[in-house]
Amino acid sequence: MRTKTLDNPAALVATVIPRAEHTVSRNSMSENALKVLYRLHNSGYQAYLVGGCVRDVLLGKEPKDFDVTTNATPEQIKGLFRNCRLIGRRFRLAHIVFGREIIEVATFRGHHENNDEGESKVSKHSDHGQLLRDNVFGSIEEDAQRRDFTINAMYYNIADYSISDFAGGMQAIKDKSIRLIGDPETRYREDPVRMLRAVRFAAKLDMHISEESAEPIKRLAPLMANIPAARLFEEILKLLLSGQGLATYKLLAEFHLFEALFPQLAPLLLQPGSRENQFVEQVLTNTDNRINTGQRVTPAFIFAAFMWYPLEERCQQLMVEGGLNHFDAFNLALNDVMHRQIQRIMIPKRFSTAIREIWQLQNRLPKRYGRRAYQLLEHPKFRAAYDFLLLRGQIEGGDLLELADWWTVFQEADEAQRKTMLEVLREQQGAPARRPRRNRKKPKPKV
């Protein structure tokens, strides 16, 4: 099905697929999403499930989020639900809160009505074509044209359980193709994050980006610099913590998007097979395995890994150029590298603090004499720092791998074995034997 571009604002025409001809069922939907749909419908409003939840069910996947769209305005939605809160400045949304589950409800978006100067009264674009404000309401046909990809423009109607396919989404699913609705360059300029979304969907859904949608990405990748750093943090979590992080990373690198997100690391990845490349790919492989087996992961670990070699490089530069010792150079480099990365991706303090601790422990883990080994074991971030050290050792080998192996054994050893390991370590390193403590008599109090 050929879609019309945004340069020609005529509404798309839906292909209506009756209930008997598709696999989307109310059994696959959240009970809370159904409550929202039925209350809107019974109150006289149109109500549809739209986007990823419809797409995922058609692909045989279990949907995680349920997005609702309607012709009710945000204020009308709020009037129907006591558990509703309105959010957003760029486009007003309603969040219906059911404990930990939030059902997002959006009013149909419409086309812009420009004034004599060519600027919309209720929407605003930047000089690069980026959409800055977009509180424009419209019809379902207009809403479909405003959506990004054809696979996300399918609407499940709670009134008769049919699907309205406005842009050939069903065919795109069959073709395993990610296609933008409208002119790709215009849509990417409106919101450069759509380039990240194209990559994420391609990796997540095991699909490919269509030729016309892929062509502008490399040229427009620098537009990512216009995206607020706080917004990019949320996008990074979706990209790298979805269980397909390695595949996503490779697509980001292919389309020159990775360097816009991690400008300090990207130059170190130009040589295939380098330790930096091996490290990044191994971290993402391990993260994917943990996610896909139901284990917990933290964004701090990935960010720590992505900035580690830039940190080492900056540390060496400060030592050579500034004549600093390693301790001072390392701490200065840590602050420099973190500051530069936060300019691109705003890392919340709870994660940036953990990143710093993982890095600082890399310098403390080689120092194992006496009580230090026991103190390190009790550190809250020991396990993350040990995993980090182990990955470094597996990639770089040598003394680093021996150190990681020592900590692997030490963790599992009993108390007697640990004491033996520490004594052997002292002898190997030529450290002086510990002097026994002398019991000093307390002085008698003067009468």
Confidence of residue 426 (pLDDT cuts 50, 70, 90): confident
CA dist 375 and 381 (Å) reads 12
Spell out a b/e string for 309-338, using b for 16 or more CB atoms within 10 Å of the CB, else e. Answer: bbbbbbbeebbeeeebeeeebbbbbbebbb
- CATH code for the part of the protein at 299-429: 1.10.3090.10
- Give domain limits for the chain: 15-182, 299-429
Confidence of residue 149 (pLDDT cuts 50, 70, 90): very high
Q: Which amino acid does the sequence have at 194? A: R
Class of domain 15-182: alpha beta
- pLDDT exceeds 90 at position 262: yes
**Residue 122: predicted pLDDT:** 45
Q: Name the pTM for this structure.
A: 0.84
- pLDDT exceeds 80 at position 110: yes
How far, in Å, are 54, 88, 103, 191, 326 from residue 94 at the CA level? 20, 9, 8, 21, 52
Pairing of strands 67-70, 101-107: parallel
Residue of 134 and 104 predicted with greater confidence: 104
Residues 6 or more apart whose CB falls under 8 angstroms from that of 136 comprise 109, 110, 111, 112, 113, 120, 122, 123
Confidence of residue 7 (pLDDT cuts 50, 70, 90): very low
**Residue 116: predicted pLDDT:** 47
Confidence of residue 120 (pLDDT cuts 50, 70, 90): very low
Tens digits of residue pLDDT in 73-107? 999 999 999 999 999 876 789 999 999 999 999 99
Which of 80-84, 86-90, 329-333, 339-343 is least confident?
A: 86-90
Residues marked active site are found at: 65, 67, 148
Tens digits of residue pLDDT in 283-294? 999 999 999 999
Structure tokens at 153: 């423009």
- pLDDT exceeds 80 at position 128: no
* Cβ(93)–Cβ(86) below 8 Å: yes
Structure tokens at 5: 């571009």
- pLDDT exceeds 80 at position 124: no
Which of 148-152, 196-200, 369-373 is least confident?
A: 369-373
CA dist 268 and 259 (Å) reads 10
- pLDDT exceeds 50 at position 274: yes
CA dist 391 and 382 (Å) reads 14
- pLDDT exceeds 80 at position 446: no
